[in-house]
Amino acid sequence: MMKALFEIIPKKFRAATCGVVLSALLRAMLNFAGLAVLLPVLLMVLNSQQIHSNQILSTLYEWGGFTTDQQFIAATCAVVIGVIALKQACNLLLQRVQRRYVVRLYKYFSVKIFRNYHDRGLAFIKRQNTAILSRNVNFICYNLVMGVISPTISMICEVLLLGLLLAALMWYNPMIALLAVAAFIPLSWVYVVILRGKLRDYGQRENEARRQQARAVVETFRGYTDIEINNAFPTMQRRFEQSLDTIAEIKSRTDIIGAMPSIIAEMSVALAMVVLILLGTATSHPDTSLIFGIFAVAAIRILPTVRAIMAQWWQIRYNYYCIDIVREGLEEADEIENDAPIQRIELGSAIEVEGLGFRFEDADKEQWTLRDLNLTIRKGEKIGIRGTSGAGKTTLFNLLLGFLTPTEGEIKIDGQRLDRTLARRWQTSIGYVSQNVYIEDSTIAGNIALGVDTDKIDRERLADVIRRARLEEFVAQLPNGADTAIGECGNRLSGGQRQRIGIARALYKQADVLFFDEATSSLDDRTEQEINHAIEQLSREQSTLTIVVIAHRSTSLEYCDRIIEI
């Protein structure tokens, strides 16, 4: 387990990890010191003659110039209280250091996996369930840090403290140390052996149940109308309830397992006390009361320590599945992130497609979506692409946009091969309007200037693209104009308004190449004609603007210079 954890912790956190482990060692020593200072008080309470017979206590008595035992005991108690207070303050400081470390680690994992999922591209995202990806980025990363790494650090501290306590007891009285080991080890070992495999299995089962629960919720709200029309909600609700039943069953079992460390620890202490009393009665040892008192003081600290170690071990085993998920999420992630501004590519002459072929990864070797395609799109041209359903029109667009990588052949932008490196620069320079324009839960302005902070939106450019996309009349009727919220997924917009926002978005980024993917196919005839007129008007206003359109209807391609059949 420690090896698996060490492998996924990034190099830049290695030094901090060593520091946190050292802080755990320091915490263990402080806790041990806090317990050790209680020993003089115990000795004096059990036998006041220890003040003068014990070499250390008698030396301190003389050095302090005390005249009565009561003064010495009072001073010793004051020192003990001060040491314990100082220990607690240091503990809080060290806990803060450890907490900051795990929070920083959570942020690193979450951001890194979020970015890595994004960078794996469209093909990867289409193969995944977005609810599961979201859960991995948020919950799984948090669970790894708070349910595995943080307990591991705490367990290291507790194990070190337990070792120091047993070593001190062994030095003072081996019988007490052996008694403590004999009391705690057997029951704890049985607990670990019996539950080792079960806890990991329970964790994996709960994770799968929560994945299904999330899928049921997301898919129900995403497909609300179809689910209602087809009376499918009872099925979705049943799946949701089945997931909850599984989670409840696992939680009921793990809650009992989680309570067992306290029961085992308390039974162990009680057993040791009984054995100690029986031994004292049988042997009539003169120091039985002193030994009993020392064991009682040690047990006060050993009891929560053993309980904590077992509880932390339980938590780590239960959440162990998170390690594998995070490790997979970090695969192929770049260690060095470059957030520098991306330099745009201005189309100078042409987009060239040479011998283009594409086949999806999970498709048969002979099942090609596109094969041996050649075409040239010159700057300023208006190109229409037409073909039957399944001919690969949208796949071609995704290749031209740089979202997919050709299986054969290549795409060139002004003679430069469109690879993964060039794709980010290319995507910054082009505009894209799909059949289902993405609308975030924001304002008109926020959706047009997508990805731009509200206070940084260029209002003059915004007003210009609203006019060019024929949105002026609609925006003027809104209570707050372009700053009016339009709801999640644009549920307050008509189909035509959504498409116009998509056009305005492409224009706002000052793209010199616009791609329209079935942008009017879901609109009625009148709205389609209005959108087509708006697109045609854009080409007249800006003669250097390159437009590439996918459409089924001939009316959407009337303004094109050329139509390519695929």
Are 345 and 30 a contacting pair, CB within 8 Å?
Answer: no
**Stretch 198-215: mean pLDDT:** 85
The residue among 495, 566, 507, 548 whose CA lies nearest residue 557 is 548
**What is the pTM for the complete model shown?**
0.73
d(CA 218, CA 212): 10
pLDDT of 43: 65
pLDDT at 333 over 70: no
Least confident among 6-10, 44-48, 81-85, 230-234 = 44-48
Count Cβ atoms within 10 A of the Cβ of residue 314 and give its class: 0-12 exposed, 13-18 middle, 19 or more buried.
buried
The residue among 315, 209, 201 whose CA lies nearest residue 261 is 315
d(CA 419, CA 121): 13
Which residue reads 């942008």 in tokens? 519
How many residues are listed for the chain in this entry? Answer: 566
pLDDT at 41 over 80: no
Mean pLDDT of the chain: 81
More confident residue, 155 or 541: 155
pLDDT at 332 over 50: yes
Least confident among 20-24, 167-171, 184-188 = 184-188
CA dihedral sign, ordered 545, 550, 554, 555? negative
**Stretch 256-280: mean pLDDT:** 74
Are 206 and 246 a contacting pair, CB within 8 Å?
Answer: yes
pLDDT digits (tens, 9 = 90+) for 388-406: 777 888 889 899 998 888 9
pLDDT at 312 over 80: yes
Integer angstrom CA distances of residue 453 from 192, 431, 480, 481: 53, 19, 18, 18
Least confident among 75-84, 241-250, 281-290, 440-449 = 281-290
pLDDT of 242: 92
Confidence of residue 288 (pLDDT cuts 50, 70, 90): low
Homologous superfamily, domain 2-330: ABC transporter type 1, transmembrane domain (1.20.1560.10)
pLDDT at 520 over 90: no
pLDDT of 336: 47
Beta-carbon count within 10 A of 215 CB: 19
More confident residue, 12 or 6: 12
Task: Kindly report the CATH number that applies to the domain delimited by 350-565.
Answer: 3.40.50.300
Joined tokens for residue 285? 């040892």
pLDDT at 252 over 50: yes
The residue among 255, 270, 257, 294 whose CA lies nearest residue 184 is 270
Least confident among 168-172, 292-296, 481-485 = 292-296
User: DSSP code of 555?
Assistant: G
Residue ranges per structural domain of the chain: 2-330, 350-565
- Classified as helix, coil or strand, 410 is strand
**Stretch 329-345: mean pLDDT:** 66
Q: What is the DSSP string of 226-270?
A: HHHHTT-HHHHHHHHHHHHHHHHHHHHHHHHHHHHHHHHHHHHHH
pLDDT of 353: 92
d(CA 518, CA 522): 8
Are 106 and 142 a contacting pair, CB within 8 Å?
Answer: yes
d(CA 426, CA 213): 39
pLDDT digits (tens, 9 = 90+) for 425-463: 888 888 888 888 888 888 899 999 988 888 889 999 999
Least confident among 49-53, 121-125, 441-445 = 49-53
Joined tokens for residue 40? 């003089």
